[in-house]
Amino acid sequence: MTDLDLARFPRLPLLGLPTPIEPLAGLTRELGAALNGVQILVKRDDLAGFGGGGNKLRKLEFLLGAARDSGADTVITVGALQSNHARLTAAAAARNGLKCELFLTRSVPREEAAYTGNGNRFLDDLFGAQVHELPGEADSFAAAEARADALRGEGRTVYTFPSGGSSPVGCLGYAACAAEIMAQVEAKGLDLAQIVVPNGSAGTHAGLVAGLKALGRDPKLAKSYAVLAEEEAAKAEVLAKANATLDLLQPGTRVEADDILVDGHPRGPGYGIPTDAMRAAVRLMARSEGMLLDPVYSGKAFGGLLRDVAAGLYPQGSTVLFVMTGGSPGLFAYPDAFSDAAG
């Protein structure tokens, strides 16, 4: 089975689907024997839609569908200062005539002008969102809910959703992606050893796990590299969100802790803090493929995948699919991380 019953959920089309699966001929040529005969393919969710593109549009299809169904005139969400999700929420809201407010925390210890005013943060303003900046330790979702209540008191209809759009409704976007991937790989005659994604708010991995399980596939086909929470906390978050998504898709169907594969090594010293492996992965993809990985999510995750391939985690002849989740505007917030002094 390669299809899910998603027609019963409100959905606002935002993407041109399916996004393509492509080989990495330049990277294969560059790395040669270091790949140990493993083929890495990429699922180009970075090409999705508008607003700078990226995987969050999959979640926003269902989140904004639910918002529209509720009669909302305003959407509010939260994230870090350079949140890709916040940027795409602002863009999608603008495209669909919704007011948008963002509660963004300074949760990364960076104060340079490029970080505080460029990249996603610049685009939030350009897309017309009202931005509320909070200290890193603030409870941004509580602040967002308080603001929503105040707006409702003024007669507005408000729909709120959490960081990364990773509510059960938002995770339906990647359950749908699991079905899309399975249909594509069957059409291409591929046998995937792994589908690999970055893990920030856990929704992309959780949605894939839920989708695979609902399709009767092995949920361990999906694996993530944690870049926000530490490994065990990230695994617990994926498990909880995958089961909450299955409650919507197939009530009574569950996944267990052993079904969740998360590697926390690429996170490094913390969320949004550059690592040497991230820098190397971003440069490699740029210089061999002309493709842009972001420095917070996909750069760290792809670095983790390259490390695992080099370590022989996948047998010779295996095919691994890396989901390119986008986020390239974030590169413009980190120019100093790629200076000669930074390695």
Task: Report the predicted TM-score, pTM, of the whole model to 2 decimal places.
Answer: 0.97
Average pLDDT of every residue of the chain: 96
Domains and CATH numbers, the chain: 21-54+167-342 (3.40.50.1100), 56-165 (3.40.50.1100)
pLDDT, tens only, 279-298: 999 999 999 999 999 999 99
pLDDT, tens only, 140-168: 999 999 999 999 999 999 999 999 999 99
Residue 163 known to be catalytic: no
Residue indicated by tokens 């856990």: 202
Which DSSP symbol is given to 320?
E
Give me the percent of the chain exceeding a pLDDT of 90: 95
> Which residues, at least 6 apart from 14, have a Cβ–Cβ distance to it below 8 Å?
48, 49, 50, 57, 60, 61, 64, 92, 95
Q: What number of residues does the chain have? A: 343
Which DSSP symbol is given to 326?
B
Q: Give the integer Cα–Cα distance in Å for 3 and 10.
A: 17
DSSP 3-state of 162: coil
Contact (Cβ atoms closer than 8 angstroms) between residue 72 and residue 158: yes
Q: How many CA within 13 A on the CB side of residue 213?
A: 27
Catalytic position from the list 70, 83, 107, 166: 83
pLDDT, tens only, 217-241: 999 999 999 999 999 999 999 999 9
